[in-house]
Structure formats: C-alpha cells, structure tokens
C-alpha cells in the first residue's frame, strides 16, 4: 500500500511523517518522488499541499466564510480516492470529500459555555487537542430539574399568598394564566429555534443573535444579562427578608425610632445585609463555580420539600386546621406581635384589670376611658381563625379582589363594626398595607416567578440530545410549575382567611411567614427551605450572568465590552463578575423586593418578546435553513406570545417598559454604527431581502410618475493604473446631488479578460467602496471586466440595477487632455457613451472641471447657481439646482435662470411666462431673458473652425502614417498574417492593444523605396492642409458655440456653478472630433460647468 505525504512548497519534511521507515528526503519542486504516490509532479502552490494519508491529518484552522466544518482531506484509502476523484482533485482543498466532511460532522461536539464560539470549536493544533468528555445529561437532569429550580423562587413563598389576598382567586388565576401563557408560547418559539440545528452553549443570547442578527442579539443579550443580574439582587433581598423577618429579627442593625419609622429601618437593614450577602456570594462564585453546582441539588430539594409541605398542610387543614387565631378590633386586623391576649380586659385574681391591648389604646393601666381611642371603645375585640381550612367555605369570600391604597388598614368585610374615626397615632397597632396595589402592580411583581425557562437551553452544551431534551424538558417544567401555581392559588384561597392573605409580613399571625402557617409539619420547613432555595437561586444568577456577558464580549459586537471577555486562566469571567456584582448592588440599594421585581420583569419580557419575534420572522420568511425538528410551532403562536409580552410590559409598568425599550434601542443603534460587522445568516437580513423583493416587484408595475421622478444615478468612474479613483470629486458631486435619497450606482470598467483580472476587479470594487464611505455616498458599486472600455460602459448602461430600481441618469467625467493625446480612444469612448445614453433614453450629466467642485466640508455662503435654458428637454435643468440646494454646501446659493431669445421672439413676454412657470413649479429663482442678435459670422469663428478642421485632418494623417509603419513592422515579424491587412484602417484599431514602440526592422531596397514614396505623399498631404476650406455646417455650429460662450461668460463668469444644455453628438461619426471642439468652445472661460442632457421625458410638473 502506497503512503502519501503532505509536503511544503520547498520540499521540507512535514513534521514527524515517516516514509517506509526512512526519513523524508528534501525534494525539489517538479521532481518525481520514488516510493510515494503523487498526482503527477509537485507543483508550486502558495500553501501546504494537502495529500491524503492513511494516518489522520491534523486539523485546519477554519474561517467563518468556509461553508464546511473542515477542509482537510483526512480519510482512508488515499489511492482509491486519487483514481476516482481525479476530476475534482484541484478543488479538494476547498471542497472536501464527503467522507471526511461526514466524519467531522459525526465527531462534532459542543464546548462548555463561554469558552469559544462554535465556528472555532476545533483546535488549530491537533496534537494539543484535549479529549473532551462527551455530553451525557438527559432530559430530566439537564433540562426539567434546572428549569423547575429556576422557575420556583422567592415570589412563590413570599408574595403569592399576598397576591391572592389582594387580587382574589379569580384575578390571581388570570395573572398566573397570562404569565404562564407568555412563557409557554415563548417556550414553543424557543424550542423551534433550539431544534433548528446544533445550538452551542450560550442559550437565549446565541439563539436570538444568530436568528435576528448582531444588533438585536446584542441588545437582547444585554437585556437578558441585566434581567439575570437583577434577579440575583431580588433573590438576595428575598433571602434577607426571610432572615430578618422570620428567622432572626433581633439581628436587625437599624431599629425604628418611632412608630412610623419601621419601613425605613427595615429597608436600611436590607441594604446592609444585602451588600454583605452579595459580597459573600461573589466570593463563592469567584473561588469556584463547582461548589455552586454541587449544592444545586440541595437547593432544589429544599424547594420540592417546601412545596410538598404546603400540599400536606392543605390536606391536613380539611379535618384538623392549624391554630393561628387573629385578633380583630371591630372589622380591623390588629398586629399580634405587640400583645399576647386578644381582649380588652383580663381577670387576674378575680379582679378585672386592663389588658395590654387596653394600655396600648388608652395609654393607662387602669380602666379609665378619658384618653381611649374612640374606635377602640365603640367596637368589640374578637378572635377568628387564621386558617379556617379547606372545608370551611372561605373560598367564596376570597374569590374577589380587595385592592388597597398605601397605609390603609386591613379590614374583614361583613364583620360587625361601628365605623368611627380612630386616633392616627394608633395606626401602628393595626396591620397596614405597605404599598398601593392594583392588577397591574401584581402582574409586575408575580412575573419573575415564571422566568427561568431558558435554563435548559443555557445548558445545551451538556445535553446528550439537545434537540429532543430542550423542548420536552422545558414544556414539562412549565406545565408542572403552572399546575403548582394554579393549585397554590386555589389552596390559599380555600384554606386561609382573607385578612391573613393580605398581610404581607404575617403581622397578624405573630410574625409568621403566611404560607408557613399552612404548611405541615411546621412553619419552619418553609422558612428554612425558602431561605436556602433563594440563596441558591441568587448564587446561580451570579454564576450565569457573568458568563452571558463574557459570551457577548467575546462575540466582539459591542466594542466597549471587550474587556469583559477576559478572565482567569481557566476561563472564569473575573471582570464580568465584578460588573455583575456592581449592577446587582444597585438592585440591593433599592432594597424593596416589590420595586426590584418589575425591573427584572421588563428585561425578561423584552428577551422573550424577541425570542418570539425571531421564530415568527424565520417562519414567515421560510428561509431554506429553517428546518426545526420541533414541529408544533406556528407564526401565529409566536406573534401571540410577542403581543402578550408587550402587553405585560406596559400592564406591569409603562415607564419601566419605556426605559427598557430605550436601553435596548440605544444598544441596537450603537451596535449598528460602532459594532463589528458580523454575518450570521440572521432573519433580519432575510426580512430585508424579502421586503426588497416585494418593493421591487411593486415598482415593476410601471414607470414612476413625474411627481416621483428623481435622478437615479449611474456614476461612471475612471481608475488609474494603481486602481485608484482618478476623479473622486465625481463621487462628492453625486453625494451632494442625492443627499442620501434614491439610487446611486458607482460603475467602472477594467479592460482585460475576466478570468485573468477577476482579482483586480475585486480590488477595484473594494477601493471604490472605501472611497464611497469617505465621500458619504450611499449606494452600490459595480465593476465590469471587458475587452474594450466602450463595450464595458455599454454593458453597465444596459444592465445596472434591478427591476424598477434602475438608473435613469448617467454621470460621466469629461475626457481631459483629449486635444494633446495622440490616442483618440478617450474622446471616442466619451462620445460613444453619450450616444449609448441617448439610445437608452437616459439623462446625462457631464461635470466639467470637476476638480474645482466643492468638497462636502466646504460651504458657499453666497453666490449663484446659473441655469442656461437653451432648449427644453424635460425640465432636468430646473430640477438639478433645486436638488443641489438641499445639500448644506449649496444651500445658501441663489438660483438664476437665463433663457435665450432670438430676434423674432418677444423677450418681455418670455420673461413673464418663465416667471409664471417657475412660480407654478414652486421654484424660487431670478429670471433673465438674453437677446441674441443675428450677426455675421466673425473672422474669429471662421479661423477657429479652420484650425479645428486642419488639426483634425493632420492628426488623422499622422495616425495613418504611424499605423502603416507599425503594420509594416508587424508584417516583417509575422509573414503569415496577411489577413490583418483587411483591418488596417478600421476603426477597431483605436480600441485594440497598443503595438510595441521599439521594433527592429529589416530593410530591403524595395521597402526603402516604398518608405520614400510614403514620405513624399505625406509631405503632399500636409501641403493640402494649408489650402483646406472649412465646412459651412461646422462654421455655423462654431458660430453658435462662440456666441453662446460670449453671452454665458459675460453673465455667469462669477457663478458658483453653471448648468447648460449639452448638444447631442452628430449623427455622422466623421464629425466626432469637431463635436468635442464645439463643447470646449461652448464652456471656455467657465470654472465649473455641468452639461445636462435630458432623457426624453418630463421630470418636473406644475401639478400637485
């Protein structure tokens, strides 16, 4: 079996490859190599030759623009493939064999989150590649349980009972239903995206950015990051609330100085302890994430046990309700922590004495009523059961909402009471509402308890079969948690007294956690369980958020975040963790759980909204790559999910919603203008293509109305030998004329063969694009390779644009130095282009002396734009100055319109008519009519015409003699090219390849005589030049040019820009050179001239 080797260009040995147990000898290029099967000889290649070997080749480094994962030719049986794939062997370096491609796809694995993007998943050095542990997590451990743990959280234990009390069971059902529908629909969209190909670790950020593009991806990724960070702050605040309210109240540092300072003291305690907790958690995360992951199962067990204890307590309450009596004064609920006996008087040693309650309301230990609270005297004190139990029928009282304002006392409806005003200084003895509540407020506070659905997709790198596990696990987790929430709402409403439900901190039940009063066997089960679960959730948020920020920073779409892409040697995001801790500290300084919850609701809702948008866009566009394995999705469901997300944002807090959208919008625009260019095949690009196609098809229906006509430019640029733009001011003029509106195509022609000069064309295109950026020209670039420049320009004029988006105006540079040049190609190309535009019914603009045109940075504070309207060709002359004046360079210039009157015209009436016409066109301009008297043709005109014709004749003779000499030389070199004589004087010669100048000629006697005869005839022809008489038609034309030029220079010599009609080229091509001379005479003495030729249709109208 032959073995083949990989060899470098100079024949050096390729590393450690051995050949038949002999070290690789140094081989020269093109030399036969014995013992090795080669495809022919070694050829000089710019890179290492890839030759298949029976041993595995090392992996290549792959760029993003390669359509394949690997382009190396690793595989077995090299000789077999050499024979059967010989037809493709030259392309195997960019188009790998199917076997090697499939081998790479099968061995493809995800990396752990935040290490590298999937495009760079394979190491550049095969020997250093570590054997990664294959992902082994199933649906239960990898998706279902993490989602459950993330969804169940602090709100369930601390706020759900309060929500049921305030909103009632029915409205609570509606809140839970809205939030769960939102997450379920988002999960369906997410499942479709997650199963559409391999999702590397990176979760929602990766999915959105690759589906909607870097701008949306970055904006939503940062929103998701901020949401996760504030979630960490919320969990820490929840843990502190449980600690200071229910576990160790005596640990409080700040104590209320008065009866009404309790809330501010509590907030300060939360700030101090929250900061301490945050620092401790950040240290734990910094030291090692493995510790967080190890305790994850313990935290999940706490959550599950806590929930089971609620169900157990609810079942037990049917036949044995727990004892939690509530003390009521009239129908008002009293705070139980300040007294022990719920009575006005107590009997002690057979004597009735004042109770603690009497002392609090009457400020005396005896039974005097002088200073007593009137409400206290008029109403009785009674005790009711805090947990009547599921069989008590309390559910019907808790069905309806009971929203309260801030500071309102919790009252039990239909309880006997006398409604009199009490003393305000006794309000602290009652249970009060600490915030104003409404349906909207409760939605914002509850929504964080359904977030966490992304936990499965965030772990996609660790899943055995992510495309199956993510949809199944996440949907099951949402169904489970939704059922738990619905059942808890029902159980709370059926088992617990309404005033206890509305008591947020359990003041009425002796400072017990309200949900704990229902649980079995003890309230401490839930208190301890919820404390550990909230601590665990906070740790996980502080672990996940920095990794998400690191992934965004490594994508390099937001330049100022690059520093957060770095971390410790093992990849831990140190700087990102520091930023996360600082942002979380902002949430902790807010200190109120009820204020932080709506903030993170906004960021999560924004993220979910864009997940739904991504799925809807991809589905509606039907992009070829959109083939999700999860089939139970529909664009209507995604739009419904998107609508619910948007509605929930504005329902919960319209001002937070606006702030979140503003932040996302600012990030979007920042990435759009400053971020790195990324091409991820995203849906927004597809949406743009779809919209463009729709618009183009609509435009195809017919030509634009005169009211909608604007110049759609094709600017023909000339490039020098180094492929630099010769006259960049043409682009400046185009940008000033367009001001970013309409279509601009920049075209150029490179002479040569397309196969040979393709690279040159690409380089030219890039040069032009760079120049377009500098000159702020918004448009497209097209470079054509053609054998002849004239043909290339004709192709551009015919084929540029698409459908209705085609150019209607050509901008062409003036051929400077055409008089001095012996080569007539430049002006012949110019006239040929003028004829092409006329034939195609396109308008033509020729800026003469374009180098003197102003740059975009100049400003004309005064001056005139003069229009010389000699013949009417559609109104282009009127429209162009108006468009130019839209640009800041020309804005302050005034417009003057001159027209020419002949002897038989009424110049006064012409001026009136022109002023009326301009008034109806809504164009402000001064009007002047210039009278041109019939005068005899001057001697100057005659001389000028004569000189022109003599010069033309002389150049023609010189070209002929030169051509004869060169052809003679060619015939000497090649005796067999008789056929070439046929085209000796053909016009095609002007466009042909130039003949080498220095030619060795062999002279014979006959040739010498022939040369003398030629010289003699040339001398004779030069004598004829002196006696030539000018053509009368040319004299007439020269007369017009001279007279018009005199008038124009006289009136417009100081104008900033002169626009005038461009006469058409002669029908007879013999007069082309004279035509150029006429144009030169017409524009002589003017600094900046724009020659305008209409396209044969009206472009301006007086009608609205």
Span 415-428, pLDDT tens digits = 888 888 777 777 88
pLDDT confidence bin for 589, thresholds 50/70/90: very high
For the record, the structure tokens of 184 come out as: 């379920």
Name beta bridge partners: 708.
none
DSSP for 420-443 reads ----GGGGGGB-B-SS---HHHHH
Torsion of CA 542, 547, 553, 558, to 10 degrees: -50
Task: Please tell me which residue, 438 or 28, carries the higher pLDDT value.
Answer: 438
Least confident of 534-548, 571-585, 864-878: 864-878
Question: What integer pLDDT is reported at residue 741 of this predicted model?
Answer: 73
514 and 500 Cβ atoms separated by less than 8 Å: yes
Rounded to 5 degrees, what are φ and ψ at 484? -65, -45
Say how far apart CA 164 and CA 493 lie, in whole Å: 7
- Candidates 303, 234, 275, 225; CA nearest to 543 is 225
CA angle at 1070 for the pair 977 and 751, rounded to the nearest 5°: 55
Q: Which of 61-65, 291-295, 395-399, 911-915 is most confident?
A: 395-399
The mean per-residue pLDDT over the stretch 244-270 comes to: 82
The mean per-residue pLDDT over the stretch 381-399 comes to: 88
Say how far apart CA 1018 and CA 1096 lie, in whole Å: 46
For the record, the structure tokens of 890 come out as: 């020309």
Task: Please tell me which residue, 773 or 260, carries the higher pLDDT value.
Answer: 773
Question: What integer pLDDT is reported at residue 457 of this predicted model?
Answer: 73
Question: What integer pLDDT is reported at residue 1016 of this predicted model?
Answer: 54
Question: What integer pLDDT is reported at residue 901 of this predicted model?
Answer: 78
Say how far apart CA 881 and CA 883 lie, in whole Å: 5
> At 346, is the secondary structure helix, strand, or coil?
strand
Question: What integer pLDDT is reported at residue 985 of this predicted model?
Answer: 36
Distances (CA, A) of 755 to 87, 758, 785, 789: 20, 6, 9, 17
Percent with pLDDT over 70 in the chain: 72
Whether 702 has a pLDDT exceeding 70, the answer reads: no
Question: What integer pLDDT is reported at residue 139 of this predicted model?
Answer: 85
For the record, the structure tokens of 584 come out as: 């979380």
Rounded to 5 degrees, what are φ and ψ at 1102? -90, -10
Question: What integer pLDDT is reported at residue 56 of this predicted model?
Answer: 37
Question: What integer pLDDT is reported at residue 365 of this predicted model?
Answer: 80
The mean per-residue pLDDT over the stretch 1043-1049 comes to: 83
- Candidates 688, 690, 670, 666; CA nearest to 679 is 688
Whether 57 has a pLDDT exceeding 60, the answer reads: no
Instruction: Find the distance separating the first CA and the last CA of the chain, reported in whole Å.
Output: 85
Distances (CA, A) of 447 to 242, 400, 668, 1004: 20, 21, 25, 104
pLDDT confidence bin for 918, thresholds 50/70/90: confident
Rg from Cα positions in the chain: 44
Question: What integer pLDDT is reported at residue 939 of this predicted model?
Answer: 55
pLDDT confidence bin for 33, thresholds 50/70/90: very low
186 and 453 Cβ atoms separated by less than 8 Å: yes
pLDDT confidence bin for 30, thresholds 50/70/90: very low
Name beta bridge partners: 716.
747, 812
DSSP for 202-240 reads -HHHHHHHHHH-HHHHHHHHHHHHHHHHHHHHHHHHHHH
DSSP for 889-904 reads TTTT-EEEEEEEE-TT
The mean per-residue pLDDT over the stretch 874-893 comes to: 84
Rounded to 5 degrees, what are φ and ψ at 351? -120, 130
Cis upstream peptide for 536 (omega within 30°): no
1093 and 873 Cβ atoms separated by less than 8 Å: yes
The mean per-residue pLDDT over the stretch 974-997 comes to: 41
- Candidates 52, 45, 55, 66; CA nearest to 97 is 52
Question: What integer pLDDT is reported at residue 647 of this predicted model?
Answer: 93
Question: What integer pLDDT is reported at residue 927 of this predicted model?
Answer: 84
Residues 6+ apart with CB under 8 A from 504: 159, 162, 434, 514
573 and 546 Cβ atoms separated by less than 8 Å: yes
- Candidates 600, 498, 555; CA nearest to 216 is 555
836 and 800 Cβ atoms separated by less than 8 Å: no
- Other CB atoms within a 10 A radius of the CB of residue 63 amount to 9
Whether 819 has a pLDDT exceeding 80, the answer reads: no
pLDDT confidence bin for 758, thresholds 50/70/90: confident
Task: Please tell me which residue, 837 or 483, carries the higher pLDDT value.
Answer: 483
- Residue 244 is classified by DSSP as I
Least confident of 244-248, 585-589, 610-614, 957-961: 957-961
The mean per-residue pLDDT over the stretch 891-895 comes to: 89
Helices (H), 261-383: 262-287, 289-319, 356-362, 374-378
Whether 91 has a pLDDT exceeding 70, the answer reads: no
pLDDT per residue over 200-214, tens digit each? 655 667 777 777 777
Name beta bridge partners: 345.
354
> At 33, is the secondary structure helix, strand, or coil?
coil
Beta strand 843-848 with 1089-1093: parallel, antiparallel or unpaired? antiparallel
Q: Which long-range contacts (CB under 8 A, 24 or more apart) does 938-945 make?
A: 938/1039, 938/1042, 940/1042, 941/1035, 941/1038, 941/1039, 941/1042, 942/1030, 942/1035, 944/1038, 944/1042, 944/1081, 945/1030, 945/1031, 945/1034, 945/1035, 945/1038
Question: What integer pLDDT is reported at residue 641 of this predicted model?
Answer: 95
Question: What integer pLDDT is reported at residue 257 of this predicted model?
Answer: 73
Question: What integer pLDDT is reported at residue 102 of this predicted model?
Answer: 58
pLDDT confidence bin for 92, thresholds 50/70/90: low
Say how far apart CA 906 and CA 207 lie, in whole Å: 75
Least confident of 134-148, 969-983, 1070-1084: 969-983
Torsion of CA 63, 65, 68, 72, to 10 degrees: -40
For the record, the structure tokens of 409 come out as: 């006392």
DSSP for 817-850 reads TTTT-S-THHHHHHHHHHHHHHHTT-EEEEEETG
Average pLDDT for the chain: 76
Question: What integer pLDDT is reported at residue 206 of this predicted model?
Answer: 77
Task: Please tell me which residue, 147 or 128, carries the higher pLDDT value.
Answer: 147
Under the phi-then-psi rule, with left for phi > 0, alpha for psi from -120 to 50, and beta for the rest, what region is 326? Answer: beta
Whether 483 has a pLDDT exceeding 90, the answer reads: yes
290 and 471 Cβ atoms separated by less than 8 Å: no
For the record, the structure tokens of 368 come out as: 């005097």
Would you say the C-alpha torsion 331, 336, 338, 342 has a positive or negative sign? positive
* Positions of E strands within 370-511: 381-385
Residues 6+ apart with CB under 8 A from 1095: 808, 809, 837, 841, 842, 843, 844, 874, 876
Distances (CA, A) of 736 to 75, 740, 863: 59, 8, 17
Question: What integer pLDDT is reported at residue 493 of this predicted model?
Answer: 93
1051 and 930 Cβ atoms separated by less than 8 Å: yes
Give residue 758's Cα distance to chain centre: 31
Question: What integer pLDDT is reported at residue 962 of this predicted model?
Answer: 55
Say how far apart CA 308 and CA 300 lie, in whole Å: 12
Question: What integer pLDDT is reported at residue 581 of this predicted model?
Answer: 94
Q: Which of 125-134, 302-311, 879-888, 900-909 is most confident?
A: 302-311
Whether 966 has a pLDDT exceeding 50, the answer reads: yes
Whether 395 has a pLDDT exceeding 50, the answer reads: yes
Say how far apart CA 861 and CA 845 lie, in whole Å: 25
- How big is the chain, counted in residues? 1104
- Candidates 263, 135, 897, 228; CA nearest to 549 is 228
Name beta bridge partners: 843.
809
Question: What integer pLDDT is reported at residue 126 of this predicted model?
Answer: 42
DSSP for 516-584 reads HHHSSS-HHHHHHHHHHHHHHHHHHHHHHHHHHHHHHHHHTSSGGGGGGG---TTS--HHHHHHHHHHH
Say how far apart CA 1059 and CA 94 lie, in whole Å: 54
pLDDT per residue over 189-199, tens digit each? 988 888 887 66
- Kind and range of the H or E element at 354? strand 351-354
Say how far apart CA 332 and CA 335 lie, in whole Å: 10
pLDDT per residue over 356-378, tens digit each? 888 888 888 888 777 788 888 88
The mean per-residue pLDDT over the stretch 314-342 comes to: 87
């Amino acid at each position: 079996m032959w073995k083949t080797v990989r060899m470098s260009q100079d024949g050096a040995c390729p590393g450690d490859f051995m050949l038949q147990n002999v070290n690789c000898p140094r081989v020269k290029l093109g030399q036969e190599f014995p013992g090795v099967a080669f495809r022919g000889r070694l050829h000089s290649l710019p890179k290492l030759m890839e030759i298949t070997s029976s041993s595995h080749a090392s992996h290549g480094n792959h760029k993003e623009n390669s359509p394949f994962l690997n382009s190396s030719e690793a595989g077995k049986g090299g000789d077999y493939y050499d024979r059967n794939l010989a037809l493709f062997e030259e392309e195997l370096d960019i188009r790998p064999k199917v076997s090697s491609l499939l081998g790479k796809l099968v061995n493809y694995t995800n990396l752990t989150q935040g290490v590298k993007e999937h495009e760079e998943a394979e190491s550049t050095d095969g020997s250093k590649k570590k054997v990664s542990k294959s992902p082994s997590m199933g649906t239960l451990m990898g998706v279902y349980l993490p989602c459950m743990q993330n969804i169940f959280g602090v709100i369930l234990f601390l706020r759900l009972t309060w929500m049921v009390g305030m909103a009632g069971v029915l409205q609570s059902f509606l809140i839970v239903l809205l939030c769960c529908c939102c997450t379920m629909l988002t999960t369906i969209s997410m499942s479709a995206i997650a199963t559409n190909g391999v999702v590397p670790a990176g979760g929602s950020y990766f999915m959105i950015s690759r589906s909607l593009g870097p701008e949306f991806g970055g904006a939503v990724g940062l929103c998701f990051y901020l949401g996760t960070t504030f979630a960490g702050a919320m969990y820490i605040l929840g843990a502190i609330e449980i600690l200071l309210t229910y576990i160790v109240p005596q640990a409080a540092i700040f104590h209320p100085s008065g009866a009404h300072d309790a809330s501010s003291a509590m907030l300060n305690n939360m700030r101090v302890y929250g900061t301490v907790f945050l620092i401790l958690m950040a240290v734990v995360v910094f030291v090692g994430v493995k510790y967080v992951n190890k305790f994850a199962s313990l935290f999940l067990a706490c959550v599950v046990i806590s929930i089971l204890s609620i169900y157990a307590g609810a079942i037990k309450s049917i036949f044995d309700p727990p004892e939690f009596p509530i003390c009521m004064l009239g129908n008002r609920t009293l705070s139980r922590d300040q007294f022990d006996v719920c009575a006005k008087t107590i009997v002690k040693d057979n004597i009735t004495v004042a109770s603690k309650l009497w002392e609090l309301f009457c400020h005396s230990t005896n039974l005097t009523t002088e200073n007593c609270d009137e409400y206290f005297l008029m109403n009785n004190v009674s005790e009711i059961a805090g947990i009547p139990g599921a069989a008590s029928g309390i559910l019907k009282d808790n069905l309806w909402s009971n929203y309260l304002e801030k500071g309102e006392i919790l009252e039990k409806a239909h309880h006997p009471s006398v409604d009199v005003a009490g003393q305000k200084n006794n309000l602290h003895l009652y249970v009060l509402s600490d915030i104003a509540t409404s349906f909207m407020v409760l939605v914002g506070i509850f929504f964080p308890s359904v977030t966490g659905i992304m936990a499965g997709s965030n772990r996609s790198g660790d899943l055995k079969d992510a495309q199956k596990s993510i949809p199944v696990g996440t949907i099951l987790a949402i169904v489970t948690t939704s059922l738990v929430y619905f059942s808890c709402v029902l159980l709370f409403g059926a088992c617990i007294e309404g005033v206890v439900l509305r008591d947020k901190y359990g003041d009425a039940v002796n400072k017990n956690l309200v949900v704990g009063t229902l649980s079995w066997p003890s309230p401490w089960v839930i208190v301890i369980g919820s404390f550990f679960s909230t601590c665990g959730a906070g740790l996980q948020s502080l672990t996940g958020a920095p990794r998400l920020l690191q992934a965004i920073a490594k994508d390099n779409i937001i330049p100022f975040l690059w520093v957060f892409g770095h971390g410790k040697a093992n990849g831990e995001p140190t700087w990102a963790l520091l930023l996360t801790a600082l942002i979380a500290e902002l949430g902790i300084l807010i200190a109120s759980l009820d204020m932080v919850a709506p903030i993170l609701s906004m960021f999560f809702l924004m993220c979910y909204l864009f997940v739904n948008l991504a799925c809807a866009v991809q589905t509606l566009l039907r992009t070829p790559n959109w083939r999700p394995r999860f089939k139970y999705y529909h664009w209507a469901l995604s739009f419904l999910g998107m609508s619910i997300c948007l509605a929930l944002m504005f329902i919960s807090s319209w001002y937070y919603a606006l702030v979140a959208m503003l932040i996302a919008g600012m990030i979007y625009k920042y990435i759009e203008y400053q971020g790195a260019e990324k091409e991820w095949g995203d849906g927004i690009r597809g949406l743009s293509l779809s919209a463009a196609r729709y618009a183009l098809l609509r435009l195809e229906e017919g030509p634009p109305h005169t009211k909608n006509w604007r110049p759609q430019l094709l600017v023909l640029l000339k490039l020098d030998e180094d492929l630099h733009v010769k006259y960049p001011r043409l682009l400046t003029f185009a940008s000033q004329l367009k001001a970013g509106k309409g279509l601009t195509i920049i075209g150029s022609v490179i002479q040569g063969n397309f196969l040979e000069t393709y690279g040159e064309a690409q380089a030219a295109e890039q040069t032009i694009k760079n120049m377009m950026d500098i000159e702020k020209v918004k448009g497209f670039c097209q470079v054509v390779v053609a054998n002849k420049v004239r043909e290339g320009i004709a192709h551009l004029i015919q084929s540029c644009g698409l459908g209705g988006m085609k150019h209607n105006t050509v901008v062409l540079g003036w051929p400077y130095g055409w008089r001095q040049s012996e080569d007539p190609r430049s002006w012949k190309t110019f006239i040929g282009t003028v004829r092409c535009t006329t034939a195609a019914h396109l308008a033509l603009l020729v800026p003469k002396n374009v180098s003197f045109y102003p740059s975009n940075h100049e400003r004309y504070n005064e001056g005139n734009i003069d229009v010389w309207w000699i013949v009417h060709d559609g109104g282009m002359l009127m429209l162009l100055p108006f468009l130019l004046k839209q640009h800041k360079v020309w804005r302050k210039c005034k417009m003057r319109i001159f027209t020419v009157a002949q002897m038989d015209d009424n110049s006064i009436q012409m001026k009136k008519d022109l002023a009326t016409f301009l008034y109806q066109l809504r164009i402000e301009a001064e009007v002047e009519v210039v009278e041109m008297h019939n005068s005899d043709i001057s001697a100057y005109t005659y001389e000028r015409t004569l000189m022109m014709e003599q010069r033309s004749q002389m150049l023609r003779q010189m070209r002929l003699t030169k051509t004869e000499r060169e052809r003679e030389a060619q015939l000497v070199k090649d005796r067999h090219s008789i056929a070439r004589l046929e085209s000796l004087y053909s016009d095609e010669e002007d466009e042909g390849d130039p003949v080498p100048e220095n030619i060795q000629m062999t002279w014979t006697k006959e040739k010498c005589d022939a040369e003398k005869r030629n010289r003699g005839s040339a001398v004779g022809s030069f004598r004829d030049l002196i006696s030539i008489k000018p053509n009368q038609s040319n004299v007439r034309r020269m007369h017009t040019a001279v007279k018009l030029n005199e008038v124009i220079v006289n009136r417009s010599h100081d104008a900033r820009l002169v626009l005038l009609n461009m006469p058409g080229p002669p029908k007879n091509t013999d007069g082309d050179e004279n035509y150029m001379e006429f144009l030169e005479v017409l524009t002589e003495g003017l600094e900046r001239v724009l020659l305008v030729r209409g396209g044969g249709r009206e472009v301006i109208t007086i009608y609205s």
